[in-house]
Amino acid sequence: MKYIVKYLSSTLLLGATLVACNSDFLDTKPLDKVSGEAVWSDQNLAEAFCTDVYNGLRDGILAQMNFDCQTDNALYSFGKQDVNEANVSPSNIGTVPPMTEWGALYSRIRAANIAIANLAKPKFDNATIADRLKGEMYFIRGYYYNQLLRYYGGIPIIKSPYTLDNPDFTIARNTYEECVNAIVSDLDSAAILLKGKTLASGRATQGAALALKSRVLLYAASDLHDIPTAKTKSTVIAAASNPELLGYVSGDRVARWTKARDAAKAVIDMNLYGYKLNLTAPVPLAEGQQNYINMYLSRNGGEADGIFLKYYIRASFDDGGSWFPRNNMPNGYHGWTSSEPTQKLVDSYEMMDGTKFDWKNPTHAAAPYENRDPRFYASILYDGAQWKPRTPDGAGIDPAGQIQMGEYEVGSSSAPTKYSGLDTRNSSIENWNGTWTGYGIRKFMDPDPTLLDMSIRQEVPSIQIRFTEVVFNYVETLLALGQEADAKTWLNKIRYRVGMPAITETGAALVTRYQNERNIEMLFEEQRFYDVRRWMTAPVEFGKQAQIMIVSGKLKPGKTVTTYKYSKDNYNYTYSVQDLGTGKENRKWADKIYFLPINRDEMNRNKKLIQNPGY
């Protein structure tokens, strides 16, 4: 079988013209390439081909611009996001995260199709290896298709490699339901083929296939993809001429929730995953913070929460995800502070006793970073946070290694001078890359104090799927099916692990607590962008201007400070919440943004494609 070559050499075409009378040269074998037949006749070459298909994962969730920068959780330091401003169109698709880019993913899907076709009747002797590779390719094809599905809605499902004999290379979009069925079929096949297989870290497993199935079916049951429900919440979807591309136009929604519940429970019942989910009471604050760090670093037992991860090897690869510290450390450490938490996100962290943070509460307003959910301290770099020792050029200015996001007084209280924090845009270390919001990312940052050189990459893996997500999926389906007692039991297992008290609400209040809990726990893990859409709460959550924090420290009477350090003994601190200036980003919501536009070039290439509504 001959497969289509994407790019043809102009030199080769010219040569063919000049020697058309003699075609024998076409029989020569290139010295720098391996033929397709040779690949599938050799176990090692087949393995290498399949391994390369995984490279479609790109930077995973550790890209320089975290996906949460296109939500209310974060701001991207280096440019406006057209999605946030509802300013996208087929000719201006905005910043599309690499893991959702149409052409790149279809290229990897094509490779997976070639692998599956050739592995159906392997030409090498080891049938066990062939089945394992085929199972991996079923999984990765399902993974890539789901990335497209949740970003665009229904997409063309292609499950066999195109050949030169194909009469037509254009294809219409499948319905949303057909896409879900196709992806679930792939994942079921993967789960069967990978059952009992021992695989290297980072490769697909039976658990990964079943966990992704849980995600796919949860989305399928959600409001956005139940078209009768979605029409009542969106005028754009109500007016859509092809709503079957966006969701289920009919059918039993309870049955869909039940399927999603059962899929999540199947992963739970494997008893292969999970980290400290057997607690009956909250752990102390410090232990809860460390538990959370262990999970996102995949260390010290926390790796048991990981199901499908992308790994980085400092000595061998130059993946963007391994540059996470350089991209996101504060500028006072020579990082770029690229993805910056917003004030809205910070305010969503509860107090340690489980009550809401409230700026109208004088105690909260006077000390907004005290007595908060332990995950706050593990995830966010804020003014006064203890962090790493400074690099040599900053160590003398800040010997304490504390985050400085504010403007402070130094000298004598009677005649003070202004000092700008090292992690602000007025920093004396670097000022072009400081935070706009007053916050930085700590989550996914290796805390090793020796890793200060921004030319050194880290080896913290990118978590694509983890067990806690599956537990949340299970909780959400239980809530939808009215099984609140079991839902709270599992939700509180997650909270006890990080030191937070039990949730006791019922009804709508419980759903709200669940949604906030999911966001806090799964922060920066490619969840918020899709969760708020599928819940159809986006007009409320995403339609507001981002808010930032302004911190100032005024010396108390009689105090003299020569080297600044966070100190409530020496300073009176004030915290002022402000809207981000509209010149930086002017956020608004439009219902067309529930589904993103297909690139105009793709529409021009394939006349059978139907554009999403609102464009």
Predicted confidence (pLDDT) per residue in 253-277, tens digit = 999 999 999 999 999 999 999 999 9
Q: How far apart are CA 614 and CA 538, in angstroms?
A: 16
Question: Is the confidence at residue 12, as pLDDT, over 60?
Answer: no
Q: Is residue 520 part of a domain?
A: no
CB distance 535 to 504 below 8 Å: no
Question: Is the confidence at residue 338, as pLDDT, over 60?
Answer: yes
Q: Is residue 191 part of a domain?
A: yes
Enclosing H/E stretch for 412:
strand 407-412
* 443 plus 401 within the same structural domain: yes
* 250 plus 102 within the same structural domain: yes
Determine the angle formed by the axes of helices 528-535 and 507-521, rounding to 10 degrees. Answer: 160
pLDDT class of 3 with cuts at 50, 70, 90 = very low
* 269 plus 331 within the same structural domain: no
* 556 plus 601 within the same structural domain: no
As given in the structure block, the two tokens for residue 459 are 């080896």
Q: Is residue 104 part of a domain?
A: yes
Residues 6+ apart with CB under 8 A from 22: none
* 149 plus 205 within the same structural domain: yes
Which CATH number do you get for residue 186? 1.25.40.390
Count of domains forming the chain: 2
Q: Is residue 310 part of a domain?
A: no
Q: What is the pLDDT of residue 98?
A: 86
Enclosing H/E stretch for 555:
strand 547-555
* 263 plus 325 within the same structural domain: no
Q: Partners of 411 in the beta sheet?
A: 416, 561
Q: Is residue 419 part of a domain?
A: yes
Q: How far apart are CA 30 and CA 36, in angstroms?
A: 12
Domain encompassing residue 420: 319-460+547-579
Q: Is residue 30 part of a domain?
A: no
Span 82-103, average pLDDT: 94
The tens digit of pLDDT for each residue in 192-218 reads: 999 999 888 999 999 999 999 999 999
Q: What is the pLDDT of residue 333?
A: 97
Question: Is the confidence at residue 494, as pLDDT, over 90?
Answer: yes
* 261 plus 323 within the same structural domain: no
pLDDT class of 169 with cuts at 50, 70, 90 = confident
Half-sphere exposure of 216 (CA within 13 A, CB side): 30
**What mean pLDDT value characterizes the chain?**
93
* 408 plus 453 within the same structural domain: yes
- Tallying the residues shown for the chain, one arrives at 615
The proportion of the chain whose per-residue pLDDT surpasses 70, expressed as a percent, equals 93
With the CA atoms of 461, 142, 261 and 208 taken in that order, what torsion angle do they form, in degrees rounded to the nearest 10?
Answer: -40
Span 540-561, average pLDDT: 97
Lowest average pLDDT, out of 16-30, 310-324, 428-442, goes to 16-30
Q: Is residue 523 part of a domain?
A: no
Question: Is the confidence at residue 13, as pLDDT, over 60?
Answer: no
Question: Is the confidence at residue 56, as pLDDT, over 60?
Answer: yes
Question: Is the confidence at residue 171, as pLDDT, over 90?
Answer: yes
pLDDT class of 408 with cuts at 50, 70, 90 = very high
Q: ∠ at Cα 442 (437, 443), nearest 5°? A: 115
The helices-and-strands tally (H runs, E runs) of the chain is 22, 11
Selected residue with higher pLDDT from 464 and 163: 464
* 562 plus 601 within the same structural domain: no
Span 40-48, average pLDDT: 95
What's CA 283's distance to the chain center, in Å? Answer: 28
* 127 plus 66 within the same structural domain: yes
Entry pTM:
0.93
Q: How far apart are CA 271 and CA 277, in angstroms?
A: 12
Q: Tell me 554's DSSP state.
A: E
pLDDT class of 573 with cuts at 50, 70, 90 = very high
pLDDT class of 317 with cuts at 50, 70, 90 = low
Q: How far apart are CA 192 and CA 186, in angstroms?
A: 10
pLDDT class of 29 with cuts at 50, 70, 90 = low
Q: What is the pLDDT of residue 18?
A: 32
* 266 plus 348 within the same structural domain: no
Lowest average pLDDT, out of 23-37, 140-154, 287-301, 376-390, goes to 23-37
Q: Is residue 84 part of a domain?
A: yes
Nearest to 525 by CA among 441, 429, 610, 613: 441
Concatenated DSSP letters for 111-160? HHHHHHHHHTS-SSS-HHHHHHHHHHHHHHHHHHHHHHHHHHSS-----S
Question: Is the confidence at residue 7, as pLDDT, over 70?
Answer: no
Q: ∠ at Cα 429 (423, 433), nearest 5°? A: 55
Span 353-371, average pLDDT: 98
pLDDT class of 8 with cuts at 50, 70, 90 = very low
Span 229-248, average pLDDT: 98
The tens digit of pLDDT for each residue in 370-387 reads: 999 999 999 999 999 999
pLDDT class of 163 with cuts at 50, 70, 90 = confident
Which sign does the torsion angle of CA 422, 426, 431, 432 carry?
positive
Span 563-588, average pLDDT: 96
* 149 plus 80 within the same structural domain: yes
Determine the angle formed by the axes of helices 176-194 and 127-152, rounding to 10 degrees. Answer: 150
